[in-house]
Amino acid sequence: MSLIERAGLAALRRLDPEAAHGLALRALGLGLGPRGGPVNTPRLATRIAGLALPNPVNLWVDENGTIFVNDPLVARVHLFTSTGAAISGFGEQGNNPGYLGRPRGMATDSDGYIHVVDGLFHRVQIFNREGQLLVWYGDPGGGRSGLALPSDIFIDQDDVIYIADTKNRRIQMFQYITYPDEKK
């Protein structure tokens, strides 16, 4: 770690978490972020069930105990049993629907589908458990369906979807709707 990086981290640790996060967002907005691609450092890496995860950033556990972990550096979502055994995974780096840029938060709806927030492409994609894209929603920007750097998602028992729309400084709410004859 460079001297500048150590000094910057020491300064951020002296601030309360909200102030440090706000400062980091302002710095990124001014173009003061990392250059040359994603940060890839061994300090962020871990291994789970024999899988190398360079930067796992989010965890979700569904009602059946399936554990979901996403890793934005490899643009993948990994599924594990409640005891930590690998089940499967999906995701591939890309910018078209069905691909992932920077997967952030994820959650499952009442049908068991996986909603993955993509912070790079400002959208949410819904996948089945095999990783097949079903539909996506959200548009870049600040309008009614607009998302700007979405960072997390939560789906309640009534399938109301809450998305942390970070750059727009708001929580977006959507309703997941299925036709009665499509319910499991």
**Residue 78, number of CB atoms within 10 A of its CB:** 21
Average pLDDT, the chain: 84
Measured CA to CA in angstroms, residue 23 lies from 16, 17, 29, 30 at distances of 11, 10, 10, 11
Is residue 65 over pLDDT 90? yes
Residue range 24-49: average pLDDT? Answer: 67
Percent of the chain at pLDDT > 70 equals: 85
Considering the segment(s) 41-182 as one domain, its CATH architecture is 6 Propeller (2.120)
pLDDT band for position 150 (50/70/90)? very high
Residue range 111-131: average pLDDT? Answer: 93
Residue range 23-48: average pLDDT? Answer: 67
Torsion on CA atoms 131, 62, 38, 45, rounded to nearest 10: -110
SS (H, E, C) the chain: CCHHHHHHHHHHHCCCHHHHHHHHHHHHHCCCCCCCCCCCCHHHCEEECCEEECCCCEEEECCCCCEEEEECCCCEEEEECCCCCEEEEECCECCCCCCECCEEEEEECCCCCEEEEECCCCEEEEECCCCCEEEEECEECCCCCEECCEEEEEECCCCEEEEEECCCCEEEEEECCCCHHHCC
